[in-house]
Structure 1
Amino acid sequence: MKLLDTTLAAYRLFTCGAIKLQPLAALAARLYVGKVFFLSGLTKLRDWDTTLLLFTEEYHVPLLPPAPAAVLGTAGELLLPVLLVLGWPGRFAAAGLFIVNAMAVISYPALEALELKDHYLWGVLLGYLVLHGAGSWSLEGWLSHKRTHKEQYE
């Protein structure tokens, strides 16, 4: 019985620690994925002629002609990461980047296995953020806490 009590106490302690680390994990995921996509968007913007050429010759985005696909993809890679890092609106930004990531995989069949692993990692992190939100260390979390705190004292 003593071993069971000790095991349960250790599990509770572990669980409390893991729960306290959730905001940090969400922030780390937002910063990591946001940086990856933002830098990709800057690269596209830096040499627009090459970007248009790539969207014409290499990337085959379904249902969109190359020029609008390039504009939408680049805009998504520049705007959505900023929203994601701020965490407002976190789920929307994560869902948008999830779609951008999926389009990258679909439209560029020449991705190597190692490159695909990166896209899978980003997809999992973005899926987590869509399902669980940006966390309490985000603009959404801060606004929600502020609103809840204000309602308690009214």
Structure 2
Amino acid sequence: MNLSAVRTAWNRAAHFASTAISHNLLAVTARAAIAAIFIQSGRTKVTGLLTLTDGTYQLFREEYRLPLVPPEIAAHMAAYAEHFFPLLLILGLFTRGAALALLGMTAVIEIFVYPYAWPTHLSWAAPLLYLIGRGAGKWSLDRLLKLD
């Protein structure tokens, strides 16, 4: 098999993948995947619906130690954000804004909390950047409400 035949076969496979794996499929997958990560993190901070645990306050006081924001306020902001913005992503509502907010959270975590966890944070940033750049896709409230 010569190089031209390999190139042709590769291009056919790439075209098939581009057709079979649409933006809509990528967007709904990105929305669900990143929402799951942040919701799971948010659930570790609360008991019941949205009551913060004592351990959450301790984490923000002792381990996270964010600058400028008191730990009690930062704990509430993080817990609520980790529930609210993923819910918007799941619904595909205000997707670009929700993804931007979670990207901002990711940046704060990377810069101030766990700077050596950049591979994990990069894996969070990738779907968030995709959603900011391309939007929620047609399987979303954004599309239904013509917000995209």
With the shorter chain as reference, the TM-score category is 0.7 to 0.9
Q: What one-letter code is carried by the residue in structure 1 that aligns with 2:76?
A: V
The structure 1 segments of at least 4 consecutive aligned residues displaced by more than 6 Å after TM superposition are: none
Instruction: Please state how far the C-alpha of 1:137 moved relative to its aligned partner.
Output: 1.2
TM (norm. structure 2) is: 0.80
Contact 1:27–1:134 (CA<8 Å) still a contact in 2? yes
Q: Find the counterpart in structure 2 of residue 121 from structure 1.
A: 123
- Distance in 1, matches of 2:22 and 2:137, equals 10
- Distance in 1, matches of 2:67 and 2:90, equals 28
Is 1:97 the counterpart of 2:102? The answer is yes
Q: What one-letter code is carried by the residue in structure 1 that aligns with 2:44?
A: T
- Distance in 2, matches of 1:116 and 1:10, equals 35
How has the CA–CA distance of structure 1 residues 138 and 52 changed in structure 2, closer, same or farther, with 3 Å as cutoff?
A: same
How has the CA–CA distance of structure 1 residues 139 and 58 changed in structure 2, closer, same or farther, with 3 Å as cutoff?
A: same
Instruction: Please state how far the C-alpha of 1:61 moved relative to its aligned partner.
Output: 1.7
- Distance in 2, matches of 1:12 and 1:53, equals 50
TM (norm. structure 1) is: 0.77
Q: What one-letter code is carried by the residue in structure 1 that aligns with 2:144?
A: W
Deviations, residues 35-86 of structure 1 (Å, cap 9, x unaligned): 1101110111136111101100110223211111111111100100000111
- Distance in 2, matches of 1:138 and 1:77, equals 20
Report which of the two has the higher share of helix.
1
Q: Find the counterpart in structure 2 of residue 66 from structure 1.
A: 71
Is 1:48 the counterpart of 2:53? The answer is yes
Q: Note the residue ranges of structure 2 that are not aligned, 5 or more in a row.
A: none
- Report the number of matched residues: 138
Deviations, residues 69-109 of structure 1 (Å, cap 9, x unaligned): 11111110010000011110100110111111111222213
How has the CA–CA distance of structure 1 residues 64 and 17 changed in structure 2, closer, same or farther, with 3 Å as cutoff?
A: same
Q: Find the counterpart in structure 1 of residue 135 from structure 2.
A: 133
Q: What one-letter code is carried by the residue in structure 2 that aligns with 1:132?
A: R
How has the CA–CA distance of structure 1 residues 103 and 16 changed in structure 2, closer, same or farther, with 3 Å as cutoff?
A: closer
Instruction: Please state how far the C-alpha of 1:13 moved relative to its aligned partner.
Output: 4.6
Deviations, residues 98-148 of structure 1 (Å, cap 9, x unaligned): 111111222213x6x5x4322111111101111111111111122229xxx
- Distance in 2, matches of 1:96 and 1:84, equals 11
Instruction: Please state how far the C-alpha of 1:32 moved relative to its aligned partner.
Output: 0.5
Q: Note the residue ranges of structure 1 that are not aligned, 5 or more in a row.
A: 146-154
Query: Alpha carbon RMSD of aligned pairs, Å?
Result: 2.7
Q: What one-letter code is carried by the residue in structure 1 that aligns with 2:85?
A: L
Helix, strand or coil for the counterpart of 2:45? Answer: helix
